[in-house]
Chains A and B, each alone.
Chain A
Amino acid sequence: MIEPVAITAYTCISAAGDGVEALWQALVDNRCRLSSLKLFELPFETVVGAVKTPLPEVSERLAAYGCRNARLALKALNQDGFRARVEEAMDRYQRERVGLVLGTSTSGIYDSEAVYTRFLETGTMPSDFHFMRRHAAQATAEFLALELGLAGPSYAISTACSSSAKALAAGQRLISAGVCDAVLVAGVDTLCRLTLRGFHSLELIDPQPCRPMDSSRRGINIGEGAGMLLLERRAAANAGAPFLLAVGESSDAHHMSAPHPDGAGAARAMAMALERAGVSPESVDYINLHATATPLNDQSEARAVTQMFPKPPPCSGVKGLLGHTLGAAGAVEAVVSLLALERGLLPGTCGFRELGVDSALPVLGDPQAGARPRHVLSNAFGFGGNNASVLLRSGGA
């Protein structure tokens, strides 16, 4: 058992637009938000989940941290009143008691890629390039901590596509172990050449909008996004807030870039989340699937869910709407799950028509309104066979 923590604020930027209302509208409409890539040229066809609204510049004081990833993080911080809630928490507790855990897979590499073009031409790195402050995994965490004046522990978890789901786990532990009273958990990842061309080399990119769990699925679309959640120690003042009950984590011990075909590791992560929270499988009302739309991943996850749940609850995945936001996916989809919990809508699976896995998974193609979910699981699985499953509960008694 681990101490549940309250989620007292959250926000999200994605291909759906800025803020939770834009994300909510996308979930209600269930209409694909993927589009052609404008940031740079690619030697193959695909669509991406890009953030299309302008990104703010970082302040002059922190100019060395300025990169697409930090700018997306800053934009998220400044919307939905999220920053004010973090600052209130810093006032309520001591600054030293507020921590920050970032989940990211590629951090500021998009800007490094441009710098390398100049490096190859001139043989020297530009003098204003600062690897540790732009590209290193922790760079955006350090930027956010300096921007906010947070003085608690600050670090990045980088376990590929499970990064920010595991950042939620780390944030909960910091509170549960008595190190922090509040933790800002952020998942931030931006479009870059490395992930697009890397997943293409693995033959995992769909040239068309992806179709999670569908019989004709062919692969993923890459997206970018930032999800932010403020975790706080439970108190009378936040009794109405939704809770992070537990995160289950496991390793497939199978392959660097392919899931275990039976989904044993994924099932273990879900089982651990339920066990740590003392919640039975029958109590889970909805599962936000990882559902990347690659043939192997979806099959493996479907087997994992049906292994764990004799009668699986409604399931769906949002990557046909937003693309796969990689290291940000855990946080972005935790926000999707919180909207499901707080507003009573089970998201649909954009692009899904016909079940294409050998397990009887109740996949929602269209959103289901009027639901009253109480417990929601959100899955995130990454390279290295790294699995995390986040268990959330609605607020109130």
Chain B
Amino acid sequence: MMERMSLLGYAVCGIGLESDALPFDVGGIDRDAMPAGLRRRASEATQLAFSAAARACREAARSPAALPSVFASVGGEMQVTDQLCIELAKPEGLVSPTAFHNSVHNTAAGYWTIVHGCPEPATALAAGHDTFALGLLEAWCQLSCNGGELLVVCYDERWPGYLAPPLGRVAVASAMVLAAGDVPEALAHLGKPCPIGASGNRAEFSNLLETAPAAWALPLLQSAALGEAGPVALSGNGWVGDLLLATSAAA
């Protein structure tokens, strides 16, 4: 049974994200993360997911083509879906083929595998306010059962204000390259995500986390960057992960 997974690289990208207090750089949309032709059609959600995923792979020096992926998002392609719902409410509303296939929850995951020629499995999941925690749990289960390495991306774009206030005010994507077990080059190690109920730390993020469930990577990545070992909240509903520092990071 796997006891921990290793963090090989990570990145955070966002729009409207206050990042001055963070001990790592937060990027915006990276125009080079996807081909120009696709970028013109891709949503904010997919562009941000790509931006963080590409940077995390670079940080970890891993090829995107070789990694299975887990894409976790509360609302997925919320803006496209909203526009389609508006069209469907009109008597002569138009549903374009591209808008339709770009409305599925796994749009970012699908394009990621297409752009990188990646034959590995890509999944897309949602778990409301626990989306980051359960994306990480899905990553844990895949690594525990299959071994190897994978990419986990958690993202949400800005949502129309009338849909789920106060959620969706900030667009944010985090990405991590993880490996099964202890890997010597790891930046940090993570124990199994558990729903044990001891959260409440990271008060400095509380406003952000209440409006952007996808931002729950920030407390974990902050702890990793600052070298603070111990339990870290992964959601507001009690999901916690145990952060263990790699020897080199602790030194």
Contact = CB atoms under 8 A, between A and B. Distances in A.
Nearest to A131: B164
A219 interface: no
B105 to A, nearest CB: 3
Given A177-B140, A177-B141, A383 B97 contact: no
Interface residues of B, number: 58
A254 B116 CA distance: 10
Interface stretch (A13-21, A29-37, A116-124, A316-324): A116-124
B118 A157 contact: no
B107 interface: yes
A130 B164 CA distance: 7
Interface string A224-258: 00000000000000000000000001111111110
Nearest to B115: A253
A382 interface: yes
Interface in B121-162: 121-128, 130-131, 134, 137-138, 140-142, 144-146, 162
Contacts of A256: 101-102, 107, 110-111, 114
Interface in B148-205: 162-164, 167, 192, 195
A254 B106 contact: no
Contact of A384 (B96, B109, B138, B195): B109
B110 A153 contact: no
Contacts of A384: 104, 106-107, 109-111, 113-114, 122
B104 A105 contact: yes
B61 interface: no
A391 interface: no
B105 A155 contact: no
Contacts of B88: 113, 116, 193-194, 197
B86 A158 contact: no
Interface string A382-395: 11111000000000
A154 B100 CA distance: 27
B24 to A, nearest CB: 27
Given A120-B86, A201-B97, A253-B118, A153 B195 contact: yes
Given A124-B162, A268-B119, A194 B113 contact: no
A173 B141 contact: yes
A223 interface: no
A201 B94 CA distance: 9
A155 B89 contact: no
Contacts of B142: 173
B141 A174 contact: yes
Interface in B8-57: none
B34 to A, nearest CB: 13
Nearest to B41: A256
A386 B122 contact: yes
A194 B195 contact: no
A116 B134 contact: no
A255 B121 CA distance: 15
Interface in A155-173: 155-160, 166, 170, 172-173
B164 A132 contact: yes
Nearest to A248: B121
Contacts of B134: 153-155
A45 B126 CA distance: 34
B1 A178 contact: yes
A112 B87 CA distance: 12
Interface string B69-86: 000001110000100111
Interface of A: 2, 96, 105, 109, 112-113, 116-117, 119-120, 124-125, 130-132, 136-138, 141-142, 151-160, 166, 170, 172-174, 176-179, 193-194, 197-203, 249-257, 264-265, 268, 382-386
13 contacts: A116-B85, A136-B75, A152-B195, A155-B138, A159-B105, A160-B106, A173-B138, A173-B141, A197-B88, A268-B119, A382-B106, A385-B113, A386-B109
Given A138-B126, A384-B111, 6 more contacts: A138-B74, A153-B134, A173-B142, A177-B141, A198-B95, A198-B100
Nearest 10 CB-CB pairings of A with B: A384-B110, A198-B100, A158-B105, A249-B121, A137-B126, A173-B141, A155-B127, A251-B113, A177-B144, A116-B89
